[in-house]
Amino acid sequence: QSALTQPAAVSGSPGQSITISCTGTSSDIDVYDYVSWYQQQPGKPPQLLIYDVSHRPSGVSNRFSGSKSGNTASLTISALQAEDEADYYCSSYTTTSTVVFGGGTKVTVL
């Protein structure tokens, strides 16, 4: 199972919105709504941001939103803040009963 495809880096200025894409295949994102997004700060474990494509866990800012179209999922961060600078990973359940992650996207706040 190949990793999901994410851009290596995305940047934006404070207050702007950015979108991170996550492209999969007909074996994962295209067939399941089990897409999650995680934020990882340096030296820390990942933190769940979005699950089931577009749902936010309690405590996660509503500046984070998720969506999906076909085999591509997206994470949008609105009103970008300095604290959003981190690595972001998508994941999806697959038709082989496994989980595949994206390669990760480094978000830089300019």
**Interacting residues with another protein (CB under 8 A):** 1, 3, 34, 36, 38, 40, 45-48, 51-52, 57, 89, 91, 93, 96-104
User: Between β-strands 9-12 and 47-50, what pairing exists: parallel, antiparallel or unpaired?
Assistant: unpaired
Pick the closer one to another protein by CB: 56 or 63: 56
Please calculate the CA angle 61-104-94 and round it to the nearest 5 degrees. Answer: 90
CB closer to another protein out of 15 and 57: 57
φ and ψ of 81, to 5 deg = -125, 160
Shortest Cβ 32–another protein spacing (Å): 8
Identity of the amino acid at 24: G
**Shorter beta-carbon distance to another protein: residue 14 or 103:** 103
Least distance between another protein and beta carbon 73 (Å)? 14
**Residues 98, 75: Cα–Cα separation, whole Å:** 22
Smallest gap from Cβ 14 to another protein, in A, equals 26
Closest CA to 88 of 38, 24, 17: 38
User: To the nearest whole angstrom, how small is the minimum distance from the Cβ of residue 10 to another protein?
Assistant: 15
Kindly give, in sequence order, each residue whose CB lies less than 8 Å from that of residue 15, ignoring residues fewer than 6 positions away: 79, 80
Comparison of 18 and 90: residue with beta carbon closer to another protein: 90
